[in-house]
Amino acid sequence: MTSPAPAPSQSASGVFSACRWPLAAALTLLASAAVAHPHGRIDCQAQVEANPAGLAAIALRLTLDGASSASLLPRLQLGEDGQPAVSKEARQFGELVAGMFRQSGWMLKLQRLGADGQAAGPALDLADPEPATFGRNPAGQLTVSVRLLPDTPAASAHGWKLACLDPTWYWATGFATAAEFSASAPCQATLEAMANMAEQAQALQLAAKNAGVLGADQAAPGLLNAAGVRAPSGTIRCMTP
């Protein structure tokens, strides 16, 4: 069995700030779901635009689990353009959903790799200059897509590490397959070791308990013994032509 995925820490993803929790709590209440850690599951998909000169952009898609999707979709009232309906309530709810993910850094942590192949230095800030779009996959699950750009030039002699982990311990996350993590040529994206989903959920709950977070003694049904594996992170390396 694979080892548990490391739970996001306050130092690894920025201090767990008071501004993040109200957004997560408000979303939970609006979705008529119980406060719990972890509350649900998100599958990550990242398409990285990079070249030997630097990383230019990340096209990110987050796919929520079926139960969370069923709670949120009726309030979003999505139109054909992937945006909430024109009603004020739907627009505000869409902004709240996107805002929660934005306050969590869109679940992403991007770092440069050192010569030893390990992540080095602080996480690079990612901006989202355009609104996120919503949609449904063939299974009826809610998807949230956004194009992210580094705030500052993201050059790296040895490549980058990209993790998809929730710093609020609210969602169990990860990349399901290699197809969900790709990079533009001549760069290569490689997933790191897969981790058991149940073990990741248990680690998230423990981290929330240690931080004294409300709802840390609860979890979404079935999540603490969920089947399957996910890769919490991967690397992008670019070969010089």
CB 140 within 8 A of CB 88: no
pLDDT > 90 in the chain, percent: 58
Residues paired with residue 134 on neighbouring β-strands, in sequence order:
144
At 11 the three-state DSSP class reads coil
Residue 81 is given by DSSP the state: T
Residue 170 has pLDDT above 70, yes or no: yes
Tens of pLDDT, residues 86-130: 678 888 888 888 998 998 899 999 999 999 999 989 999 999 999
**Tens digits of per-residue pLDDT, 215-232?**
788 888 889 999 999 999
Per the CB < 8 A criterion, the answer to whether 119 and 161 are in contact is yes
| Averaged pLDDT, 47-71 | 95
Check residue 8 and give its pLDDT.
40
pLDDT for 86 equals 65
What pLDDT does 35 receive?
Answer: 65
Is pLDDT of 28 > 60? no
Task: Please state, in angstroms and rounded to a whole number, the distance separating the CA atoms of residues 217 and 211.
Answer: 12
- Beta carbons within 10 angstroms of residue 192's beta carbon: 16
pLDDT for residue 53: 92
Confidence of residue 241 (pLDDT cuts 50, 70, 90): low
Look at residue 200 in the predicted model and tell me its pLDDT. 94
Domain ranges in the chain are 20-221
pLDDT for 13 equals: 34
Nearest alpha-carbon partner for 95 in 135, 65, 131, 60 = 131
pTM of the model: 0.83
Banded pLDDT at 9 (limits 50, 70, 90): very low
- SS3 of residue 85 by DSSP: coil
